[in-house]
Amino acid sequence: MRTSTRPAAVVFGGRLHVFFRGECGTNTLYAVSTANGREWSDPVNLTEATRGARTAGPPFPVVFGDRLVVVTRDPANSRIGVCRSADGANWSAYETVAGTENEEHPVAVVHDSRLFVFSHGHGGMVCAVSCSPDGAWGGHEVLPRTAHWPPVPVSMGDRLVLLVRDYLDPRALVATDVETATVTPVAQVTRTPAVVARDRGVTVVYRSDGGFGSVDLLGADPWGGQVVGDCDDLTIVRYREHRLVCRPLPGRPRVQVVGPRTFSFPTGDRGPRRCGGGQVIGDYLAVAVGDDVEGVVRFFDLRPLARGAAPVAAPAVVDAPGRAVAAGVTAISSGADRRYVLAVHDGRAVSIMESTPAPLWSPECRFTTLFSAPHREPGGLALLTDAAGEVHLLCGTGERRRDLRVDFAGERLRECGYGVRIPDQYRVERRSLSRRD
């Protein structure tokens, strides 16, 4: 079967449906489908099946609720045309949308339970019309944004964004928020971009003078729920689409999980303790738990969160030299020699520990204290390993929040001397601390 424009495809009812225009002299609309990519149905003439559907350009299919909807540009009056199917095989009668005459390149997107169709009008104006789930069309609008060639609509959480090549400067690709009319420059392009959906946004792939480029646009933050109760001295760490709130509550300490499902899980039952700061490494959370006298660092496997279950405690429980106010963790080396470096703050000093070469879920993962460095109450604590293998300890101090960085490499770890003093007058960008005798 020949097509005079590029085909368009969508997945609906477990099948891939492909739509295309036949010979340009007839503007006939056709469809084929497949369930496995190898065996294809015979072409269906939708012009006959819908009693009139034709398209003067590429069709635009979209799934809207429980319907497969195909948007076209009617060749008779350049109106937006629509046909629908509940099963991909039987089609409703073709209709055109009033007030959309003389518009080109209609594109569709589903956002906020409505079907939006954007098209390109005279003078580069972007026109919009929307449909409710009951099939009723709203009024036709002309948006206050001109475009060179058709816009690319993207639904990003609670935002509807148009990617537009600017009418006055066709090389400038901008993102326009439909509701607020906020315009954000994206890239310099030579063609209309393609959009790939991702977990929390989209990747825009475009062609420029230097070849091909891409840029990520983030959607609305998917975290839901609220952090309830006392919010003093809490630590928040991110794990995929969740955030883990470590809160110093009295009684049995818990970590609150805020995300697609909000709940909390206990961090231990050894006496009245409080939950302190923590850090995520891979699929594991290291969190400090303690009271005014002693503390521990516990590790939790976070992978069960993907199925809505509570994290599972790992065997490793590290006794802190004293209290445990905050903890940070990173990995060094690789392969069979992969080990973990742990930093624990007791309110007066940071203790650096190193593990045996075993994974966190193994009972063989045990930590040994290497040295301690005096340091006041932290305003946060984290360990990072850079591409060169250097390990960095990042934390702040008390209310003044002075910045601190202690640098050491895996092999130099044991050479970092005891009794390292942290001068208050140095900030992280001015000084990298190492052994001081």
Give 140's contacts (C-beta < 8 A, 6+ positions apart).
Answer: 97, 98, 99, 100, 127, 128, 129
Q: In a 10 Å sphere around its CB, with 0-12 CB exposed, 13-18 middle and 19+ buried, how is residue 56 labelled?
A: middle
What pLDDT does residue 273 have?
62
* Amino acid 432: pLDDT: 33
In terms of DSSP H, where are the helices of 85-232?
A: none
Predicted local distance difference test score (pLDDT) of residue 427: 28
Cα maximum dimension of the chain: 89
SS3 string, 115-139, reads EEEEEECHHHEEEEEEECCCCCECC
pLDDT tens for each residue of 125-148 = 889 999 998 889 998 888 877 888
Residue 427 buriedness (CB in 10 A; 0-12 / 13-18 / 19+): exposed
pTM reported for the whole predicted model: 0.55
Task: Confirm if 145 and 164 have CB atoms less than 8 A apart.
Answer: yes
Asked if 178 and 161 count as a contact pair (C-beta separation under 8 A), the reply is yes
Q: Which residue has the tokens 């439909």?
A: 178
What Å distances lie between residue 4 and 62, 74, 95, 152, CA to CA?
21, 15, 23, 22
Low-confidence ranges of the chain (pLDDT < 70): 1-4, 198-200, 219-235, 247-254, 256, 258-274, 375-380, 388, 395-437
**How many of the other CB atoms lie within 10 Å of CB of 204?**
22
Name the pairing type of β-strands 67-73 and 125-131: unpaired
Residues 6+ apart with CB under 8 A from 107: 60, 71, 117, 118, 119, 150, 151, 152, 153
pLDDT, tens digit, 9 for 90 and up, residues 60-106? 999 998 999 999 999 888 899 999 999 999 999 999 998 888 888 89
